[in-house]
Amino acid sequence: MTTKPRINPWIIVWLCFATLSIVMSARQSVSVMTDEWANTLGWSKTFIGSGQSVALIMVAIFSPIAGNLADRFGARIMLVAGLLLVGTGLLAFAVVPVAAIFIIGYGLIAGVGFATANMHLISTALAKLFKENRGLATGIANSGATAGQFITVPLLAIGLSYFSWRWSIIAAAAACALMALVIWVMLKPTEEEAAQKSETISDEPLWTRLKFLLTNPTFHILYWSFFICGITTTGAIETHFLPYAAFCGFPPVPASGIYGLTAAINFAAMFASGYLTDRVNRPLLLGSIYLVRSLSFIVLMNVGTSYEMMFLFAVIYGIFDYSTVPPTASLVASHLGLKIMGLAMGLISGGHALGGALGAFLGGYLFDLFARYTEMWWFAFGTAILAGLMVFMLRENRTERGVLAAAH
């Protein structure tokens, strides 16, 4: 993707939205198919969960690599590659449903695809495409990740009910291939755009870019705050919310409904976060998101058996869940530079995955230790406060400069 597209840039935003919806539905297919695979294939839930774990490890490892490649070759090639990898991985174990192919197909091949066709790469692509309304464009496109949870995942479930799990997975793989074709054709650069490619494509050696980032205080603030974001979202809530709700005595259907409500609220909140990113002080916005998110864990600790308190949690958490993405991406673009944004966002996204892994492990460990989730919620509360305070150390500056070049 280049600075001056030959098609309306907002069409590209919605193409990115659709890409994330498809990829996230593919990523969530494990949760939809777990019981079916356990019954028809004889796989244990522990084994099925291990496939998801392998995929998350691939996301943590390959997100920086994908971001670096996007800096060198552009986002169009990387998005297409990511979609094709996800489709290939899904198709492999749909055709040959054996344990080893599941780990290789979903865990390794599709895992690399999840790391490539991901929010960090789309945020980078849109930052290079938009100067005005950059935050709003980023928020709209990345809300596709949420749409994948409450729009396209139910389609997988319907396919499972009326056809079979194999056909549902094959349909998801076909959707990835079709989306890859659409991206490849519609985002093909013109000759003029190809000539301008050097404006947003980095030719600096990898070590030079890494050295700049790793010695930059702004990068560390954004990295570690997003690491904490992973602890408090993927780790704490996405992994432990439903078990906690069952622990409190909530039946599965209402608990799942409340969790779905957080996704629906988050969908709208991403638009609002993107809109505000373009108009207010971004460090103040991002820091406030972390601080208010911390309050949701206080609510969660006091839920008891109250549906009203659980609903209040869903509203607070839903508003301040993925809403960290637009201001974080915007700060990376302006404070670290567009030419290294892919590598920077890849590293930051990898940090989010590592934080999620830590939070998922710690929640289980603390529950086994104390037979309750209170300690985990206090840990999430404290780290969210820390993330907010860290971000407040940044200064607002929307002037885009050749930051890396200035460092030499």
- Count of domains for the chain: 2
Please check whether residues 273 and 397 belong to one and the same domain: yes
Q: How far apart are CA 164 and CA 186, in angstroms?
A: 33
Average pLDDT over residues 182-207: 69
Q: How far apart are CA 95 and CA 345, in angstroms?
A: 35
Q: What is the CATH number of the domain that holds 54?
A: 1.20.1250.20
Task: For tokens 């949760």, name the residue.
Answer: 31
Please check whether residues 257 and 163 belong to one and the same domain: no
DSSP 48-98: HHHHHHHHHHHHHHHHHHHHHHHHHH-HHHHHHHHHHHHHHHHHHHHHS--
Query: Is there a domain that residue 4 lies in?
Result: no
Query: Is there a domain that residue 254 lies in?
Result: yes
The predicted pLDDT at position 213 comes to 93
Please check whether residues 189 and 214 belong to one and the same domain: no
The boundaries of the domain holding residue 215 are 206-407
Query: Is there a domain that residue 2 lies in?
Result: no
The predicted pLDDT at position 400 comes to 62
Average pLDDT over residues 204-233: 92
Please check whether residues 154 and 87 belong to one and the same domain: yes
Out of 169, 199, 229, a domain closes at 199
What is the 8-class DSSP label of residue 336?
T
Please check whether residues 167 and 34 belong to one and the same domain: yes
Q: How far apart are CA 43 and CA 36, in angstroms?
A: 10
Minimum mean pLDDT among 52-66, 156-170, 366-380: which range? 156-170
Please check whether residues 119 and 217 belong to one and the same domain: no
Please check whether residues 238 and 303 belong to one and the same domain: yes
Out of 199, 228, 246, a domain closes at 199
Out of 146, 181, 199, a domain closes at 199
pLDDT per residue over 318-361, tens digit each?
A: 999 889 999 999 999 899 988 888 899 999 988 998 898 888 88
- Its pTM stands at 0.82
For 308, residues 6+ apart whose C-beta sits below 8 A from its C-beta are none
Please check whether residues 188 and 325 belong to one and the same domain: no
Please check whether residues 185 and 217 belong to one and the same domain: no
**Phi and psi, residue 352, nearest 5°:** -60, -45
Handedness of CA 382, 386, 387, 389 (dihedral sign): positive
The predicted pLDDT at position 199 comes to 55
Query: Is there a domain that residue 3 lies in?
Result: no
Average pLDDT over residues 76-82: 91
